[in-house]
Structure 1
Amino acid sequence: MDLQDDFSDERPCVTIRCQDNVSVGVSFRDRHSADDYCVHYSVQIQAPGLSAHLDDAVAWIGNNRDLAPFLEKLAGDFTGWDGEQCWETDDRDLAVSAVFLSGGYVNLTWTLRPWRKAAGGWSASVTTRLEAGEQMASLAADIRHFLESQAS
């Protein structure tokens, strides 16, 4: 896994790489905001033979049901849970499902579904494997920082 907050182009970016295969990953970038209530951002997933992009995902500032609190809850459950835990944006165009694995790892499946209601809509998914403890906590903190920092 590789988490980065890349300010080289003056726009923050968070990239998550699967620890088992670094060619599989998810990137959050292009954060912007027009008001104090929400942040818009894009998400890209990549894997060998796959590259998919979602423009204009929306996070609501201070919403306890958003991605950062979901990831923080997973990080807090580092001893494990049964079944699958799921989260999605209000528009359902970005979804994450989490499964706890033996050995203290978590599989996060990231699904993009832009144009859900349009003819010819599509979805694409990648799965990243992270350590349940420190890597999940770092991911949660990086996503919170990305979503809540002063937008450009």
Structure 2
Amino acid sequence: MTSPDGRLDDKPGVTIRCQDSSSVVVTFCDRFSFDADSVHYAVELRAPGLTARVDEVVAWIWDSGLTAFLEKLVADYRGWDGERSWQTHDRDLTVSAVFRSGGYVGLTWTLRPWTQAAGGWGASVTTWLEAGEQMACLAADVRNFLTTEQP
């Protein structure tokens, strides 16, 4: 399930919970901008025995974007063969999608900051969502999170 994050500080956020295991969670939070060309935000992954966070994922206005990738998955709700993937320009966030019989989409969220640095790290979790309504809600929530003006 996806939901606008009910954070106590009222800052916008999106939480994605795996339908198969509610302890697997991806959170988009702490959005800010330096200029009109980009949006910066944090992504957190949580699963039993795992907590990982990247603080400055960047969405550029000229980039095809995560929202466009998710909306394409929504449009193909009847399924597809193989794996589809998207990544940020800096490659610190990658999302891979597969379609499972029964109408479910598996999204593997991978954080890999400092890809050029020795000793870098990576972490991944997979969330399963219903291909129709749940994916449509996720795409809308992410679009709203990345495009809504901050107070």
TM bin (shorter chain): over 0.9
Offset of residue 62 of structure 1:
5.5
Q: How many residues align?
A: 151
TM-score computed with the length of structure 1 as normaliser: 0.95
| Residue range with higher mean Cα deviation, 134-143 or 52-61 | 52-61
Change (3 A) 1:2 1:144: closer
Instruction: Quote the Cα distance in structure 2 between the aligned partners of 1:150 and 1:113.
Output: 28
What is the percent sequence identity of the aligned residues?
62
SS in 1 for 2:110: strand
How much is the aligned-residue C-alpha RMSD, in angstroms? Answer: 1.2
In structure 2, distance between residues paired with 1:92 and 1:3: 25
Q: Partner amino acid for 1:102? A: S
**2:74–2:132 contact (8 Å) kept in structure 1:** yes
Whether 2:97 is the aligned partner of 1:98: answer yes
TM-score for the superposition, normalised by structure 2? 0.96
Structure 1 residues without counterparts, runs of 5 or longer: none
Question: Is 1:150 paired with 2:149?
Answer: yes
Aligned to 1:23: 23
Read off the aligned partner of 1:10 and give its amino acid letter: D
**Structure 1 residue 80, shift from structure 2 partner:** 0.4
Which residue of the partner structure matches residue 87 of structure 2?
88
The answer for unaligned runs of 5 or more in structure 2 is none
Q: Residues 55-70 of structure 1 correspond to what in structure 2 (within 5 A)?
A: 55-61=55-61, 63=63, 65-70=64-69
3-state SS of paired residue (1:91)? coil
Within the alignment, does 1:40 sit opposite 2:40 as a pair?
yes
Q: Aligned residue for 2:71?
A: 72
2:2 and 2:134 in contact (8 A); partners too: no
